[in-house]
Structure 1
Amino acid sequence: MADAVDDDLYQRAKRLLEPGDIELVGCIVHTDLGGEQDLEMHELTVAINDVIADHADKGESYIYAGNDTDEFASNQFQGKALADDAFVWECQQLLRSGTFDLVFYYEAGVEQEDLADDLAALDDVDRVTLVP
């Protein structure tokens, strides 16, 4: 991708979207939050959850941290639909070059450009890179 600032991060995110049970797309939310701003990063993740769930038309959702399973890594989370625990999104929170980048992937069908615009409007978001 010509406008990707961190090609390695972009390629790693793209590999997460390899074909599986459902077709996935994603985005990288680049923040201005430093490594010591864990609380602000958590609050931003909650706000992103609401935006993605709204765009995915999944209704209310909650954030599952996976603390009760060894299938999750540290700083890996899932958004799940409140009504039926259906998958809404998954993310990795990465500290890169002193600030957090949040890599999200979700089921295809979301209008990517509209979602990116809404995510970019959130506080503490520097920019959004779409991963088709």
Structure 2
Amino acid sequence: MANVTFSSPLLPKDVTVYAVAGDTHTLLKVAQKNKIPLPFECEDGNCGSCVMEVVSLSDKPFMAQDLTEKERATLVAAGKLSKAEIEEAVVNDRPPRYRLACQYIVRDEDILVRFSGEPGVV
């Protein structure tokens, strides 16, 4: 199990939910299931409206998850992902802090998810 804590100005306080690690559901689906108002539009990784910041709250090493091609292109176009961060993700297995909720699969780690509530803005 993983603890996912959502933090946003839209929420009266941070909300922590449990997610099944390795489940094929995205973080967006976890948010929807728990009635977290994380913004989204396309659910396909093209629009960038569900951009969020992911911070590890675990003592164990952050678990890398490959960026999809769509996610990489969308985050680069939005200015949320630099070439250095892409290289760090690929070479050193270190995921970037900005991700798309519709592409991110929850792993066996506790994370903090920050989002503004405004589509495309963290």
With normalisation by structure 1, the TM-score equals 0.29
Higher RCO by CA contacts (8 Å cutoff, separation 6 or greater):
2
With normalisation by structure 2, the TM-score equals 0.30
**Structure with the higher strand share, 1 or 2:** 1
